[in-house]
Amino acid sequence: GINAEYMGKLVAQPYGVVLVMGSWNYPVQLCLGPLVTALAAGNCVIVKPSELSPHTAELISTLLPKYLDPICYRVVVGGVPETTELLKERFDKIMYTGSSAVGKIVMTAAAQHLTPVLLELGGKCPVIIDNTANLTSAARRIIWGKGLNAGQTCLAPDYLLCPHALQQELVEALQAAKLAFYGDDQQASPDYARIVNDRHFERLSKLLPSGRVAFGGQLEPQQRFIELTVLVDVTPDSPIMQEEIFGPLLPIVTCESVDAAIEFINQRAHPLAVYLFSTDTQHVEQVTAQTHSGGLCVNDTLMHSVPPQLPFGGVGHSGMGTWHGKWGFDAFSHTKPVMHKYSGVEFVNELRYPPYSDKKAHRLKTLLSHTPQF
């Protein structure tokens, strides 16, 4: 901006040295995506892949030094001890993708150095289905979002809220979509993933009795296969409703109105996403205004994270900060305002110099009362 007294501009400067802590569920994307973004903003980067995806971690640690200057970009591999030591160092920005529990540990460590953090966490992403929804397309988009990576996605639909009168028709549409995508034998489908390790398989297996199986329910421990399963007769206090599922189990909780669904969601921690299937404009506006989440996607799942023109991130329990596209560049940059004052027209400054008087105060008040132009 320019006026009679000065020129002003904004300069984007890299933070400096950034720590990127990737996640195991999309171990390439969630390491290299933030790396590229931080690199574009001019930072040096240390990448810490998740130890729960060891083969990918090894691959990244082998390939990255071949293509990027190791003076500016390094990979650190290892488990909890290595990560603990890494977090003792002073970084200029930390980005972590993973669970809320570990996010608190990262934020505590960052606070020792007043280091800003970008936390991409998770939470229980609800799906509201009202009486106006197209159940066929809704079911296909829900099953796709839940079946992707066997439900091991931070944005995966976690539970469904729908009126009791719609439940049976919705279950039938969901089952038809599952059959269309994965066939009669889901275990034989080349498009369906497995659970990452035995610990998560056991955790998910224990959640299965939280409701009545409407369809699915097959388990195969040796392959860590869990069939995409829809549960009904699920109560709000059941075990599956107390934690992020992060797997292919999809409970349905009956909710008789959009008002009741909103109340149900707002009684819980802010999720990374809220999904609404509706053709009612008022319901869309109501859910937009009255729920608080990282993002809202109407009549689809996951897809709001794809366009680079939209920021992606959580709020509250589901994280802080946003990235993707230009938002990512901004997340890894400090925006520095620069003012260049002219050395002349000194008479303009007399108003702010002592000695002060009522006349000066009145003139200053008049000048400062002008509405700024943004």
Q: Is 79 helix (H, G, I), strand (E, B) or coil?
A: coil
Buried b (16+ CB within 10 A) or exposed e, 193-209: bebbeeebbeebeebbe
- For 135-199, the three-class secondary structure string (H helix, E strand, C coil) is HHHHHHHHHHHHHHHHHCCCCCEEEEEECHHHHHHHHHHHHHHHHHHHCCCHHHCCCCCCCCCHH
Between strands 229-232 and 295-298, the pairing is unpaired
Side-chain half-sphere exposure of 302, counting CA atoms within 13 A? 19
The number of beta carbons lying within 10 Å of the beta carbon of residue 275 is 30
Strand partners, 12: 335
- As a whole number of angstroms, the distance between CA 19 and CA 34 comes to 10
Task: Say how far apart CA 374 and CA 371 lie, in whole Å.
Answer: 9
Find how far residue 312's CA is from the centre of its chain.
Answer: 6
Residue type, 241: M
Catalytic residues: 120, 154
User: Can you tell me whether residue 259 is helix, strand or coil?
Assistant: helix
Residue type, 103: G
Query: What is the DSSP code string of 30-76?
Result: HHHHHHHHHHHTT-EEEEE--TTSHHHHHHHHHHHHHHS-TTTEEE-
Tell me the CB-side half-sphere exposure of residue 109, using CA atoms within 13 A: 20
* CA–CA gap between residue 123 and residue 158 (Å, rounded): 8
CA of residue 123 relative to chain centroid, distance: 9
Secondary structure (DSSP) of 94-107: EEEES-HHHHHHHH
